[in-house]
Amino acid sequence: MNLRARYRIAAVALGAVSAALAACNGPRAGSGVSLTPSVVPQIVARTPSGDSAALVSRSLGSNVRIVIAKESHTVVAAPNHAWTMLPGTLRVNFLPALQRTDEIETGLQLEMSYRPRDAARLRAGYLPLIAIAYANGRTIRFPLLGRTETEHHTIGLTIPATLLGGATGLTIALGVDNAKYEQQPEGPRYWDGKQWKTTGTIEPGQKTLVLIHGIFSSVETAFPATPTPACPQEIADAGGYKQVLGWDYDWFYPPKVEGPAFYKFLDKIADAGVTDLDVEAHSYGTLVTLAAVPLLTSIKIKHVVLLGGPLPLRGTPLAEDKNSWRMGFVLGVLDTFSDEPPSDVDKAISSGMISSLAPNSDALTKILDDIKSMPAKPAFFQAAGDKWICLVGYPSACLLSEDYFKKVLIDGSGVQLPWDGVVETIAAESKDIPNGTAMEFPLSHIQLECDKDVIKWVGKQVNP
């Protein structure tokens, strides 16, 4: 799997991968999510160090023995360069294997103790990494949000029953930020025809396009320079653009923060003498763009292209409180498939970015009201996907394409099918936006940016 494919799974703006989780930036004290209002543990096992595993769902079996063990010095491999795994794993085995079930309910409640010396690193942001082994020989690894009990130095986890069907055991480890990993700073990017650069000049009088990415992403990874022909150059050629710029931003902040920041860059482009300006955005970047465009008075943007956006006012049902446990799953999976530290998930939750994406939220209502109030509106072109995400070569990602995991994310969530694996098709094709034209493509969320058919269609709209 090349880097382009790997990073583009994280190019989502789950404008969508979002949920209003009650959590603070740091250990999520008391913020754990229960799938059922009240549960009575059926089978419980404990270690002397304070770890425990409680089987709750009867659909998983009633004659199961749980064997639990703490390995204090074991260190598992980190899922990406931005993570560091703390020493210590909790191993839970089920004898016999758990029964298969389709129940969306609490399956297993876990408490994992951590060393007091690690408390500060956990406060900066963490994600528990779970590896579930199944009787068919498969092992699936993914993170879930945890809840922190600081008094007893434990992390709590709730795993839905449907993820545990057929499991023979699981292992839990805690991931924190890698202090040595440096993320690229936000700011402008300049396309020179072959690659993205962090420095450059804005040429006046040129037909100009600005590209903006979604969450767990950057301009460089959402619109990559490799392989040849380069995606940004294909977009430029199809649209007749002589100059392509990009905007990298801190995606874990809400539109009310990132919209004004993006507006300042667009205003700078106008001040440089550009009079012909379009914007093309992917995923969460669509909402950042819609928050920025009404602020711009120095130039009229002619065309705004919105690729797979959780557009007003539909947003995404996955951002509602009832779906917070699903978002723990989705945010964690996306984080491991990108070079992003666990603390970015905490920031997205605590900043209000996640909650702003709920259907008909105050944030989305304001964005749409501001767009409607513009005296001279751009032409909006919306590309929607309707296929589930699956990447060959990444077993965990491909399992997301199976009904087993679709059920976890969709059943009872309020999500309408079809969707592109991240954003509902009905949202990306939103008819709320005035002056808009939408087209549906048989693609997943991470294919929309650089697909040749999408590029060709967009080119015809902006460069007839």
Contact in structure between 463 and 408 (CB atoms under 8 Å): no
Tell me how far apart the alpha carbons of residues 294 and 263 are, in angstroms, rounded to a whole number: 9
Q: 10 Å Cβ neighbour count for 402?
A: 11
> For residue 143, is the peptide bond before it cis, meaning its omega torsion is within 30 degrees of 0?
no
pLDDT values of the chain reduced to their tens digit, one per residue, 464 residues: 233 333 343 333 333 332 222 222 333 433 445 565 445 667 899 999 899 999 999 999 988 999 999 999 999 999 999 999 999 999 999 999 999 988 888 999 999 999 999 999 999 999 999 999 999 998 888 898 999 988 889 999 999 898 899 999 999 999 999 999 988 889 999 999 999 999 999 999 999 999 999 999 999 999 999 988 899 999 999 999 999 999 999 999 999 999 999 999 999 999 999 999 999 999 999 999 999 999 999 999 999 999 999 999 999 999 998 888 888 888 888 888 888 999 999 999 999 999 999 999 999 999 999 999 999 999 999 999 998 876 544 444 454 555 666 777 888 899 999 989 889 999 999 999 999 999 999 999 999 999 999 999 999 999 98
Q: Report yes or no on 24 lying in a domain.
A: no
Contact in structure between 34 and 62 (CB atoms under 8 Å): no
Q: Report yes or no on 120 lying in a domain.
A: yes
User: Do residue 401 and residue 315 come from a single domain?
Assistant: yes
Helix axes 343-350, 324-336, angle to 10 degrees: 140
Give pLDDT, residue 390: 66
Can you give the residue range of the structural domain that contains 189? 3-17+182-462
Longest alpha-carbon distance in the chain:
75
Number of Cα atoms under 13 Å in the Cβ half of residue 2? 6
User: Do residue 425 and residue 343 come from a single domain?
Assistant: yes
Q: Report yes or no on 38 lying in a domain.
A: no
Q: Report yes or no on 445 lying in a domain.
A: yes
Supply the Cα-derived Rg of the chain in whole angstroms.
23
User: Do residue 244 and residue 131 come from a single domain?
Assistant: no
User: Do residue 172 and residue 308 come from a single domain?
Assistant: no
User: Do residue 364 and residue 438 come from a single domain?
Assistant: yes
Which CATH number does the domain housing residue 225 bear? 3.40.50.1820
Which of 145, 150, 165, 242 has its CA nearest to residue 203? 242
User: Do residue 158 and residue 196 come from a single domain?
Assistant: no
From the number of C-beta atoms within 10 Å of its C-beta (0-12, 13-18, 19+), residue 68 rates as middle
Which of 118, 119, 120, 123 has its CA nearest to residue 26? 123
Contact in structure between 2 and 440 (CB atoms under 8 Å): no
Strand 208-212 relative to strand 187-191, pairing: unpaired
User: Do residue 146 and residue 191 come from a single domain?
Assistant: no
User: Do residue 219 and residue 285 come from a single domain?
Assistant: yes
Q: Report yes or no on 29 lying in a domain.
A: no
Domain count, the chain: 2
Q: Report yes or no on 129 lying in a domain.
A: yes
Tell me how far apart the alpha carbons of residues 30 and 150 are, in angstroms, rounded to a whole number: 9
- 0.95 cut: is pTM over it? no
Eight-class DSSP state of 295: G
Q: Report yes or no on 31 lying in a domain.
A: no
Q: What angle do CA 433, 190, 244 make, to 5 degrees?
A: 45
Give pLDDT, residue 40: 61
Domain end point (choices 139, 158, 177): 177
Domain end point (choices 143, 177, 211): 177
Q: 10 Å Cβ neighbour count for 137?
A: 7
User: Do residue 142 and residue 230 come from a single domain?
Assistant: no
Q: Report yes or no on 37 lying in a domain.
A: no
Tell me how far apart the alpha carbons of residues 286 and 214 are, in angstroms, rounded to a whole number: 8
Dihedral of CA 161/325/337/212: which sign? Answer: positive
User: Do residue 96 and residue 208 come from a single domain?
Assistant: no
State the DSSP H helix or E strand holding residue 336, giving kind and residue range, or none if neither.
helix 324-336
State the DSSP H helix or E strand holding residue 90, giving kind and residue range, or none if neither.
strand 89-95
User: Do residue 157 and residue 204 come from a single domain?
Assistant: no
Tell me how far apart the alpha carbons of residues 151 and 24 are, in angstroms, rounded to a whole number: 16
Domain end point (choices 150, 177, 204): 177
User: Do residue 192 and residue 55 come from a single domain?
Assistant: no
